[in-house]
Structure 1
Amino acid sequence: MNTPLRRISLVVMAMFVTLMVALTSIQVFQAGDLNADDRNRRATYREQGRERGPIVVAGTPIATSVPVDTPYAFQRTYANGPLYAPVTGYSSIVFGQTQIETAANTVLNGTAPSLWRQRLGALVTGRQPQGGSVELTLDPEAQQAAWDALDGREGAVVALDPSTGAILALVSTPSFDPNLLAGHDTAAVNEAWQTLINDPGRPLVNRAIAGDTYAPGSTFKLIDLAAALSTGDYDAETRVPALDVLELPGSNATISNPGGARCDDGETATLMLALQKSCNTPFSQLAITLGEQAIRDQAEAFGWGAELSVPLTVTPSRLGEIESEAALGQTAIGQLDVRTTPMQMAMVAAGIANDGELMTPYLVATERAADLSVVAETSPDLFSEPVTPEVARTMTEMMVNVVANGTGSRARIDGVDVAGKTGTAESGFDEGTVRDYPHAWFTSFAPAEDPQVAVAVVLVNGADPNNAEFSGGQLAAPIAKAVIEAVLR
């Protein structure tokens, strides 16, 4: 072979090697990134061209795919869209998926490993692959009761089955209609998106589990109480310091009881009475006596700081830095840097209700193939044991007294012992505006002797101090009552 031919051959070989390396890199190493690239319209067409499986509540689909005469072949539609939006999220050709639509995406689009038999059958027969279905744990009556009771106010409700962790209700308001984002008219979808993100009510925020967290106020006293009872040195009738005004150590700050009221005799009170009246000074002093580590450990036992997926991602609750006894005294009443979600407060109630065993919350009950065969089922799982059964029983007795004789009276249900704790929490931002109004809280479970449901409610900045009725007991407790009644029906 002469020199020119040899050189041409080497160049051609080098080109082939370069081509093979490039193809290997693209098809093997870059495939995932290219498929996930927002500019890859083929991925969008492929995803939307499948018959996506339904999301089901109590046997009724709340999200389905319908055939349409567009290049995408199928369009997602949502029944009772705003009611279930915090759970379903949306599936959009412009903005992708959120919530269950993304958390269970591989099941819904038919690509999950658990659906391999279905995919193999489609490959052999040449049929278009179908998505599987996802059945949720929600109780539609509880979901509707929470929605109706919130009545459009900014807030959220979470209800759990204490014995399993199944989520019975998950509502956040204001909400939005996911159908507005599921359309195939991209201009209309983008316009709807701009309207939603510019809405001062922030309808895209899932207040029940994610994004924003809130000061829990006096509902956090359940953590103080659990820590105290767990030492064995306290019981419901133990008298503790209960001054009218508590001067916090090492500072000029003081803590008073709600409305400046006297807890008992102005010196001491039983823990039973202190919880019944939601006195601040005894719980602040109690936390200072127990120490930061005891409060932190107890909160973490109930889930503070934990990374939780239900499978929707839950924002971890936090205590913040507690740099002094004065800061600990404020932390003890759910103020300062303490922030949490309604999911977390429902977990606190559920752990007490279930004899001290806190079950991991979950939202997906069953996954099915297109032929309705079960491919996955969620089994209840123990999250933690934050208190002993004995402590749980004492706390239950004390929380029943809160509803029967104390601040939680608006959660009373004839013939049912309801256990609960109220909270009215200063939010501490946007001073001088409605955004600075306190949050109204209530966390509860019922029936006390055989708990079927644990509920947490927050009305965000909902406690208008200019209104005679602005506490958590007055505003949030009736919402929890409505949800409890719906479950017990």
Structure 2
Amino acid sequence: MIAPRARRINIPLRHVALMCGGMLFALLANVTYLQGLDSERLNEDPRNQRTMIARFHSPRGQILLHDGTVIATSRKAGGATYRYRRFYPDGPLYAAITGHFSLHGGAGIEQAEEALLSGGDPRVKVRGLVGGTRGGATLRLTVDRGAQRAAYDGLRATGKPGAVVAIDPRTGAILAMVSLPSYDPNLYASFDAARLDRVDKRLRGDPANPLLNRAIQRNYPPGSTFKVVTGAAALHSGRYGLGTRVSAPASLRLPGTSTYLRNFGGDTCGNGNPPLLQAFKLSCNTPFAKIGVDLGQDVLREQAEAFGFDTDDLEVPMPVARSVYPPVLDDAQTAMSALGQFDVRATPLMIAMIAAAVANDGSLMRPHLVKDVRLADGTMIDKAEPSAYRRVLGAEEAERLTVMMVAATGKGSTGSAAAIRGVKVAGKTGTAENTAKGRAHALFTGFAPAVSPGSPWGSWSRGADPGDGWRLP
């Protein structure tokens, strides 16, 4: 009697044991999943206070200029919870590049290179465990201190919002990147949550939008600077040369519409039938609109895409907003697009890249901001290698386009203010209507000297006639 009764009692006990074993297995599986497979998501969750506090336990990697000048570093905070505080010696001057790092997260390079700067990158973490060092890696940028200061002071002197980007056309190294109005990243270095919230709310609510990096985060109508792209397409087609006569009436009726396009001032361009070189020099609208229609939307789009329009693969390392050439156009829209109007949009970085491609014999190098990455002990773990981004146009076409751009900064041109005594400057001005605010954008892209940009100042030295009997003026 005892054995059957014991067996009856053991049956529910076994069920309970199996259920407890299953629950224990599920618990262990869930812990394994959370700590192993899902740990990255949890670490990045802004509600995870432990992860946020840990970011300030060790010194974050420094950010340096090309010459070693420190523009972002970590200082001891003197507290038990937060041991290190971020500091930006010349905050507003480099804010468009560095961004900021705070309890709320980061922006700019601070955000784009978070893994390296914090030490979370496997290359940094392993070396730290082996060598016993702690802290993040140091980033040395391509930015030139003098170029950055000149760009910042020059743009600030205008009293207007805007952006400046300078690129070494031979390597793609970004020498300067400025966006105004700017802000002081040190404002975000506070550990006072209430104060940090007030700062963030004030800056985000500022109608001047100081947190926006206008150089790469937003695109704008390029205006007549896009005529460099249209000029490249015209030369590449073989139907136009520097001496080709183009019709340049005072006004042009856009195909299929009752709307008339006019040149600046409402006058004819030149004598109404100037060579392409002079039409570019005077930035005439009507002839370039007619060239756009003649070439067609597909040819213009193909040339724009060769420069990097309509792509999402550009990072410097911060992601860059897409520069856009409209997908489907009628003839009137094509005419306006050839002038950088209608729905054509470009970032200031792209405007600089257009000139850089021409300067580098038609080869566009991939733009980049980080020159090299080093550990705390000085060991280099990464270095930027100049790489070609796109073949935009042939060397001979680039040479002819350079002639056009040099003419556009010569005496009597729209870009004569960019002329430098004793130096051949290649450039192109642009004015684009901003219908959203009823104002116009002023743009300029260019390079100097016109031959071998980046080399010591010199004059045209190629000797060979660039074509059609035209030489640099």
Q: Is the deviation greater in 133-142 or in 150-159?
A: 150-159
Residues 27-53 of structure 1: CA deviation (Å, up to 9, x unaligned) = 233322211111000110111212101
Match of 2:70 among 53, 58, 61: 61
Residues 419-452 of structure 1: CA deviation (Å, up to 9, x unaligned) = 00000100111xxxxx321000000000002212
User: 5+ unaligned residues in a row in structure 2: which ranges?
Assistant: 1-6, 456-473
Q: Quick one: distance in 1 between partners of 2:112 and 2:167?
A: 20
- Residue 451 of structure 2 is matched in structure 1 by 449
Which residues of 2 match residues 81-480 of structure 1 at below 5 A?
81-93=91-103, 95-121=104-130, 125=132, 129-151=134-156, 152-210=159-217, 212-266=218-272, 268-307=273-312, 308-405=314-411, 406-429=413-436, 435-452=437-454
DSSP 3-state at the match of 1:269: coil
- Residue 50 of structure 1 is matched in structure 2 by 58
DSSP 3-state at the match of 1:38: coil
Q: Quick one: distance in 2 between partners of 1:166 and 1:424?
A: 27
**Larger CA Rg, structure 1 vs 2:** 2
DSSP 3-state at the match of 2:160: coil
DSSP 3-state at the match of 2:55: helix
DSSP 3-state at the match of 1:48: coil
What letter is aligned with 2:41? D
What letter is aligned with 2:214? R
* Maintained 8 Å contact 1:89/1:100: yes
Q: What percent identity do the matched residue pairs reach?
A: 44
Q: Quick one: distance in 2 between partners of 1:40 and 1:385?
A: 47
Residues 341-362 of structure 1: CA deviation (Å, up to 9, x unaligned) = 1100100000000011110100
Q: Quick one: distance in 2 between partners of 1:12 and 1:310?
A: 54
User: Structure 1 216/36 Cα, relative in aligned 2: closer, same or farther at 3 Å?
Assistant: same
Q: Quick one: distance in 2 between partners of 1:428 and 1:298?
A: 26
Q: Quick one: distance in 2 between partners of 1:325 and 1:235?
A: 23
Deviation at 1:411? Answer: 0.7
* Maintained 8 Å contact 1:136/1:364: yes
Q: Quick one: distance in 2 between partners of 1:23 and 1:274?
A: 71
What letter is aligned with 2:425? V
Aligned pair count?
A: 441
User: Structure 1 38/117 Cα, relative in aligned 2: closer, same or farther at 3 Å?
Assistant: closer
DSSP 3-state at the match of 1:379: coil
Residues 42-80 of structure 1: CA deviation (Å, up to 9, x unaligned) = 110111212101000121110000111221211100011
Deviation at 1:117? Answer: 4.7
DSSP 3-state at the match of 2:182: coil
Deviation at 1:254? Answer: 1.3
Q: Quick one: distance in 2 between partners of 1:141 and 1:261?
A: 42
What letter is aligned with 1:119? G
User: Structure 1 273/329 Cα, relative in aligned 2: closer, same or farther at 3 Å?
Assistant: same
- Residue 3 of structure 1 is matched in structure 2 by 11
DSSP 3-state at the match of 2:352: helix
- Residue 481 of structure 1 is matched in structure 2 by none
Q: Quick one: distance in 2 between partners of 1:188 and 1:314?
A: 31
* Maintained 8 Å contact 1:111/1:119: no
DSSP 3-state at the match of 2:165: strand
Deviation at 1:305? Answer: 1.1
Deviation at 1:4? Answer: 4.5
What letter is aligned with 1:297? E
Deviation at 1:120? Answer: 2.4
TM-score, normalised relative to structure 2: 0.91
What letter is aligned with 2:91? G
* Maintained 8 Å contact 1:114/1:376: no
* Maintained 8 Å contact 2:163/2:178: yes
User: Structure 1 426/165 Cα, relative in aligned 2: closer, same or farther at 3 Å?
Assistant: same
- Residue 462 of structure 1 is matched in structure 2 by none
DSSP 3-state at the match of 1:22: helix
Q: Quick one: distance in 2 between partners of 1:5 and 1:314?
A: 64
What letter is aligned with 2:82? Y
Deviation at 1:121? Answer: 2.2
TM-score, normalised relative to structure 1: 0.88
Deviation at 1:20? Answer: 1.6
What letter is aligned with 1:281? T
* Maintained 8 Å contact 2:297/2:329: no
Residues 243-271 of structure 1: CA deviation (Å, up to 9, x unaligned) = 111111111111110111220223x2111
What letter is aligned with 1:237? G
What letter is aligned with 1:76? R
Deviation at 1:143? Answer: 0.5
What letter is aligned with 1:397? V
Match of 1:31 among 18, 23, 39: 39
Residues 318-354 of structure 1: CA deviation (Å, up to 9, x unaligned) = 0224431001111111111111111001000000000
Spell out structure 1 runs of 4+ moving beyond 6 A: none
User: 5+ unaligned residues in a row in structure 1: which ranges?
Assistant: 430-434, 454-489
* Maintained 8 Å contact 1:403/1:418: yes
Q: Quick one: distance in 1 between partners of 2:330 and 2:16?
A: 79
Deviation at 1:111? Answer: 2.2
* Maintained 8 Å contact 2:433/2:439: yes
User: Structure 1 216/174 Cα, relative in aligned 2: closer, same or farther at 3 Å?
Assistant: same
What letter is aligned with 2:63? I
| Alpha-carbon RMSD | 1.4
What letter is aligned with 1:171? V
Q: Quick one: distance in 2 between partners of 1:11 and 1:374?
A: 55
Q: Quick one: distance in 1 between partners of 2:125 and 2:19?
A: 45
Residues 366-421 of structure 1: CA deviation (Å, up to 9, x unaligned) = 00000111110000010111111001111111111111121111111111110000
Q: Quick one: distance in 1 between partners of 2:115 and 2:201?
A: 29
Q: Quick one: distance in 2 between partners of 1:234 and 1:446?
A: 26
- Residue 467 of structure 2 is matched in structure 1 by none
